[in-house]
């Protein structure tokens, strides 16, 4: 039954399909220590469902197998830039060139993590995952039970995926696939159906430490160890309150997530574009105009980001991030928009707008003094 399931998953658009048992992952104890140290920050949901994450039987009693799936979100442009030894410079250089062109017109732009430059992947993958669950039910026969999750299940999914051979957990704590690099989504089907396991993947990072060096906020505290409280993805997405002042400068013009540790990984030279996500690309999200974003009201925010992952941080979260990005990269032309944002009833937006205004005024004064 395993190979027909794998083939059907590929026909649905997934790039890789692997199988492993539903026994608890070996990393369960490390995860519990990580939580005990508070490195999950405000992500309280990780603590609430910790019992399920360390034991798949708590998710689906009688579970025997976990089907792990990958769907690439690499784009043609990113794949073209993945030249050995030049991946980081080329890819980020291309982004910098675009930012420079917009800045010359006094229109600073922001950076959105690559995975969010599409229709929300939950929407794209969930229907296909439901089809796969139904198919597994048909081939499994009466009594077989299955549940599918797209980055929403209470699993230590990267460790389970490594055990299934889907990839290996890199020093940045993200999953790396030898054929897809870093650019892919993960999904799972947990089932009571007993299926033969695939061989696990071994770690292939070697002596490389590019991801650790690349992290702007030193969130990767040691190989395979992440303090989420310092991670820009956490700060711009998961954190609901004020971004710590001491970390704001390191955020640069990133307004939703961060790819720096992923971009520099040399395994990206094997990345390839997926037909599945390609048709759901939202190219207008690649370099959004920061001043235009700052002018969005609630209705405009909903209209602009409907159906994208950005919707989850709401207007107040996005405008908070936009203010930080303008504080780091904006010029005098951004001051009127920031001064207006400083009058916002939402104190979170107003405080970050005042901070950004101070940063721009300080840079302007320093430039005037130097000249």
Q: What is the pLDDT of residues 189-200, one digit of tens each?
A: 999 999 999 999
CB-CB contact of 265 with 81 (8 Å) = no
Task: Report the pLDDT averaged over residues 217-234.
Answer: 95
Degrees, nearest 5: CA angle 82-83-89? 80
**Domain residue spans of the chain:** 2-73+119-191, 289-364
Beta pairing partners, 19: 67
The pTM of the whole model exceeds 0.75:
yes
Query: In which residue are the tokens 């990133």 written?
Result: 254
Tell me which range, 84-88, 157-161, 173-177, is most confidently predicted by mean pLDDT.
Answer: 173-177
CB-CB contact of 258 with 211 (8 Å) = no
The residues that are catalytic are: 151
Class for the domain spanning 289-364: mainly alpha
The H or E element containing residue 191 is strand 184-191
Exposure string of 1-20, with b = 16+ CB inside 10 Å and e = fewer, is ebeebbebbeebbbbbbbbb
Give 273-309 pLDDT, tens digit per residue: 888 999 899 989 988 999 999 999 999 999 999 999 9
């Amino acid at each position: 039954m395993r190979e027909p399931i794998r083939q059907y998953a590929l026909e649905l658009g997934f790039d890789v399909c692997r199988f492993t048992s539903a026994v608890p992952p070996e990393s369960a104890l490390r995860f519990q220590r990580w939580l005990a140290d508070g490195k999950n920050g405000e992500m309280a949901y990780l603590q609430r469902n910790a019992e399920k994450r360390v034991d798949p039987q708590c998710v689906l009693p009688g579970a025997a197998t976990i089907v792990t799936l990958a769907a690439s979100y690499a784009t043609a442009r990113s794949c073209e830039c993945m030249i050995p030894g030049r991946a980081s410079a080329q890819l980020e250089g291309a982004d910098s060139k675009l930012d420079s062109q917009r800045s010359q017109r006094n229109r600073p732009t922001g950076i959105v993590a690559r995975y969010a430059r599409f229709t929300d992947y939950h929407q794209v993958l969930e229907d296909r995952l439901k089809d796969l669950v139904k198919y597994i039910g048909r081939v499994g026969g009466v009594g077989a039970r299955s549940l599918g999750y797209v980055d929403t299940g209470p699993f230590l999914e990267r460790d389970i995926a490594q055990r299934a051979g889907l990839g290996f957990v890199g020093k940045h704590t993200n999953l790396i696939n030898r054929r897809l690099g870093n650019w892919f989504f993960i999904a799972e089907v947990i089932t009571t159906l007993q299926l033969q396991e695939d061989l696990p993947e071994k770690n292939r990072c070697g002596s490389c430490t590019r991801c650790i060096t690349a992290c702007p906020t030193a969130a990767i505290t040691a190989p395979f160890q992440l303090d989420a409280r310092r991670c820009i993805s956490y700060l711009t997405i998961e954190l609901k309150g004020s971004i710590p002042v001491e970390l704001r400068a390191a955020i640069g013009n990133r307004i939703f997530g961060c790819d720096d540790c992923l971009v520099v990984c040399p395994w990206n030279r094997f990345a390839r574009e997926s037909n599945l996500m390609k048709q759901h690309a939202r190219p207008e999200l690649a370099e959004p105009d920061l001043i235009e974003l700052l002018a969005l009201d609630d209705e405009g925010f909903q209209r602009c980001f409907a159906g994208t992952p950005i919707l989850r941080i709401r207007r107040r979260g996005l405008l908070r991030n936009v203010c930080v990005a303008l504080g780091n990269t904006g010029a005098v032309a951004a001051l009127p928009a920031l001064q207006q944002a400083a009058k916002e009833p939402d104190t979170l937006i107003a405080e970050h707008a005042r901070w950004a205004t101070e940063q721009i005024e300080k840079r302007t004064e320093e430039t005037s003094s130097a000249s």
